[in-house]
């Protein structure tokens, strides 16, 4: 470039130029101008480089997500179903240990989910995107993602960070873009003007932040000061007042004045999101135009029976001084309901409309009309609400864990296990012995009776839900029944029944199918007040069935040592 400059200066010393020389000079000027632009705008070039990286990274992340089954889009550590409406959490790349307070969320969204900086790039389900990207089980291939991407700036204060939301059998990624070159890609059809959105759906996530402002007084004369106050966002505000003096500023409040009449707009920006507070400027008290406004919405919405959807309603000041506008909704299908938050606001402003369909709401399309009213001024906006059937439950419960098998007699083995979980709910468990189903139960225990003495049995358990989705069978557990007694007797070791010293005389053998109560024959032994007694009758052991003298439940002092079977104490058919 230095050579261009020397040649150019040399040519300037001459008094006459040929056409070729003139064209060369024009080319040199263009080249020098380009260099000047590059030198004068390094921030834009840096922003463009960051934006190019953001778009590349989100494209790769999107490719990896599509290789995972939608039922697993909530990740291994959450039980939300991504088949229904959007989950109430927003997974965000900003680390939990960066010292920032997240921006406010609109109604219906519970929290941002953040992870520590050290774990944020993990791809095993513990990173900021909760999915396990190591292997896609449904397609049996290693995913093309070694680490999770994070935004080059990655702070709430800047407004530049990545988010992930799943729901409605879809998902959405969003990212803030800085450069003017890439701003146009943010008009991709999503509902957040502050972010570039991509994924299967562009309306799952709420706007990244909400910010509002108020002007005091809302109506002034020419030259009179007006103070604008910001709220929401991340607490850091910048101001723009194109016709005001001054025309810009920063901080929680902003003072300006106007020298022309009309409805002015003071714009506040926080965390990449902006809002407008109007100011009416008159001269000598001459009235301004009457108050008027328009209503807009974010487009049609789909909701499944028994779930909810979120619509955004915006009231825009058209003329005059802003007044409170109240919102109502009509045209809802049978059984559906609606609620606004807030129920009223001063244009220009936004209200979030929650639409809830009952389980019995008919499927089909309805035209929902939202009316905004302020005194005698009413305006409407409408959209189509489509009610669909609930998404099919295709997710199986988790596999039962910690299965144990305990032989308590020569003919009974008791099973227990840890409860399974399910995205909707576990309906019950199937019990297998030797690979063959023998029972179902809603409990996490099972008593297998009628078994042969001195025989080893192996069990597994699987869980199922109301849609008959069944888990895999659990790890097996085995037990061997005890040896049988004389003449078909049934033997119980007292250590399975009592909680004190093991005295051989306390082994009890009773003929099968003989109604009886267990007896402590050890004179002077201590009996626990909370003793669990067992009655053997018709091949069943019934817990907590002991009676005192054949009638009353056990509540005797430790000195009472005998339990009697109904009808009297007769142990003639017992074998000791």
Do 523 and 466 lie in a common domain?
Answer: no
Do 191 and 50 lie in a common domain?
Answer: yes
Q: How far is CA 505 from CA 312, 523, 576, in A?
A: 78, 10, 8
Q: Please state, in angstroms and rounded to a whole number, the distance separating the CA atoms of residues 97 and 135.
A: 29
Q: What's the pLDDT at 149?
A: 93
Residue 284 maps to a domain = no
How many structural domains is the chain composed of? 5
Helix (H) or strand (E) holding 273, with range, is: strand 273-282
Record the tokens describing residue 1, joined without a space. 């470039």
Do 112 and 170 lie in a common domain?
Answer: yes
In the three-class reduction of DSSP (H, G, I as helix; E, B as strand; rest coil), residue 167 is classed as strand
- Comparing CA positions, the residue from 389, 301, 395 lying closest to residue 86 is 301
Do 498 and 451 lie in a common domain?
Answer: no
Do 347 and 375 lie in a common domain?
Answer: yes
Residue 360 maps to a domain = yes
Are 70 and 80 within 8 A, CB to CB? no
Is the confidence at residue 368, as pLDDT, over 90? yes
Full-model pTM: 0.40
Q: What's the pLDDT at 108?
A: 66
- Comparing CA positions, the residue from 507, 506, 564 lying closest to residue 535 is 564
Residue 267 maps to a domain = no
Which of 1-10, 106-115, 161-170, 448-457 tops mean pLDDT?
448-457
Of 480, 506, 526, the domain-final residue: 480
Q: Please state, in angstroms and rounded to a whole number, the distance separating the CA atoms of residues 306 and 356.
A: 7
Q: Please state, in angstroms and rounded to a whole number, the distance separating the CA atoms of residues 467 and 186.
A: 41
Are 106 and 211 within 8 A, CB to CB? no
Residue 88 maps to a domain = yes
Q: Please state, in angstroms and rounded to a whole number, the distance separating the CA atoms of residues 333 and 347.
A: 29
Residue 186 maps to a domain = yes
Record the tokens describing residue 529, joined without a space. 């007040």
Q: Please state, in angstroms and rounded to a whole number, the distance separating the CA atoms of residues 106 and 164.
A: 16
- The model's pLDDT over 403-424, given as tens digits with 9 standing for 90+, comes to 999 999 999 999 999 999 988 8
The domain that contains 371 carries what CATH number? 2.60.40.10
Of 172, 199, 226, the domain-final residue: 199
Do 406 and 549 lie in a common domain?
Answer: no
Alpha carbons within 13 angstroms on the beta-carbon side of residue 143 total 24
Segment 116-141 shows an average pLDDT of 78
Do 473 and 491 lie in a common domain?
Answer: no
Task: Indicate the Cα dihedral angle 156, 157, 159, 162, nearest 10°.
Answer: -20
- The model's pLDDT over 498-552, given as tens digits with 9 standing for 90+, comes to 322 333 333 333 333 333 344 443 333 333 322 333 333 333 333 333 333 333 3
Do 410 and 523 lie in a common domain?
Answer: no
Q: What's the pLDDT at 76?
A: 74
Residue corresponding to tokens 């106007």: 258
Structural domain of residue 321, as residue ranges? 289-389
- Mean pLDDT of all residues belonging to the chain: 75
Segment 120-138 shows an average pLDDT of 80
Segment 89-101 shows an average pLDDT of 86
Residue 232 maps to a domain = no
Q: Please state, in angstroms and rounded to a whole number, the distance separating the CA atoms of residues 57 and 54.
A: 5
Do 571 and 449 lie in a common domain?
Answer: no
Residue 501 maps to a domain = yes
Residue 217 maps to a domain = no
Q: What's the pLDDT at 268?
A: 87
Do 191 and 324 lie in a common domain?
Answer: no
In sequence order, what are the beta bridge partners of 339?
A: 354
Do 115 and 49 lie in a common domain?
Answer: yes
244: left (phi over 0), alpha (psi -120 to 50) or beta: beta
Neighbour tally for 203: CB within 10 Å: 23
Do 119 and 193 lie in a common domain?
Answer: yes
Q: Please state, in angstroms and rounded to a whole number, the distance separating the CA atoms of residues 152 and 58.
A: 12
């Amino acid at each position: 470039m230095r050579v261009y400059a020397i040649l150019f200066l040399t040519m300037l010393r001459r008094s006459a130029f040929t056409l070729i020389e003139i064209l060369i000079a024009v080319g040199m000027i263009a080249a020098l101008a380009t260099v000047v632009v590059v030198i004068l705008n390094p921030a834009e070039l840096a922003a463009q480089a960051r934006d190019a990286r953001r778009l590349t990274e989100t494209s790769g992340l999107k490719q990896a997500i599509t290789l995972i089954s939608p039922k697993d889009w909530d990740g291994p550590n959450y039980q939300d179903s991504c088949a229904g409406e959007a989950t109430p959490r927003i997974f965000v790349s900003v680390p939990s240990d960066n010292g920032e307070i997240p921006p406010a969320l609109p109604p219906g969204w519970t929290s941002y989910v953040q992870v520590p900086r050290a774990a944020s790039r993990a791809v095993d389900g513990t990173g900021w995107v909760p999915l396990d990207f190591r292997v896609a089980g449904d397609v049996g291939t290693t995913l093309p993602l070694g680490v999770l991407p994070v935004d080059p700036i990655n702070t709430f204060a800047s407004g530049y960070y990545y988010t992930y939301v799943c729901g409605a059998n879809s998902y959405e990624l969003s990212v803030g873009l800085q450069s003017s070159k890439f701003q146009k890609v943010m008009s991709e059809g999503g509902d957040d003007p502050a972010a570039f959105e991509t994924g299967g759906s562009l309306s799952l996530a709420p706007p990244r932040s909400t910010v509002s402002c108020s002007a005091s007084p809302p109506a002034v004369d020419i030259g009179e000061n007006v103070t604008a106050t910001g709220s929401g966002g991340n607490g850091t505000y910048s101001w723009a007042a194109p016709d005001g003096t001054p025309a810009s500023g920063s901080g929680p409040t902003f003072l300006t004045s106007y020298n022309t009449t009309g409805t002015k707009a003071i714009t506040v920006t926080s965390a990449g999101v902006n809002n407008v507070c109007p100011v009416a400027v008159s001269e000598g008290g001459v009235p301004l135009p009457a108050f008027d406004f328009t209503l807009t919405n974010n487009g049609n919405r789909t909701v499944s029976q028994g779930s909810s959807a979120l619509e955004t309603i915006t009231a825009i000041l058209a003329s005059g001084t802003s007044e409170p506008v109240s919102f109502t909704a009509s045209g809802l299908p049978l059984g559906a309901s609606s609620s606004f938050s807030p129920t009223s606001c001063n244009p220009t402003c936004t209200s979030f409309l929650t639409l809830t369909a009952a389980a019995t709401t008919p499927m089909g399309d309805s035209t929902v009309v939202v009316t905004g009213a302020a005194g005698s001024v009413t305006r409407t906006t409408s959209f189509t609400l489509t009610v669909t059937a609930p998404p099919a439950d295709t997710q199986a419960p988790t596999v039962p864990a910690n299965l144990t098998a305990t032989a308590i007699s020569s003919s009974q083995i008791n099973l227990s296990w840890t409860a399974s979980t399910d995205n909707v709910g576990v309906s019950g468990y199937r019990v297998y012995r030797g690979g063959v189903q023998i029972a179902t139960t809603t409990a996490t225990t099972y008593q297998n009776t009628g078994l042969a003495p001195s025989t080893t049995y192996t069990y597994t358990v699987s869980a199922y839900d109301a849609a008959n989705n069944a888990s895999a069978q659990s790890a097996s557990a085995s037990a061997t029944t005890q040896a049988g007694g004389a003449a078909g007797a049934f033997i119980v070791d007292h250590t399975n029944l009592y909680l004190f010293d093991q005295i051989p005389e306390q082994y009890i053998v009773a003929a099968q199918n003989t109604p009886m109560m267990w007896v402590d024959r050890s004179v002077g032994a201590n009996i626990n007040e909370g003793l669990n007694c067992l009655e053997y009758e018709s091949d069943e052991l019934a817990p907590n069935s002991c009676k005192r003298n054949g009638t009353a439940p056990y509540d005797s002092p430790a000195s009472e040592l005998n339990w009697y079977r109904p009808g009297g104490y007769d142990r003639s058919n017992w074998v000791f």
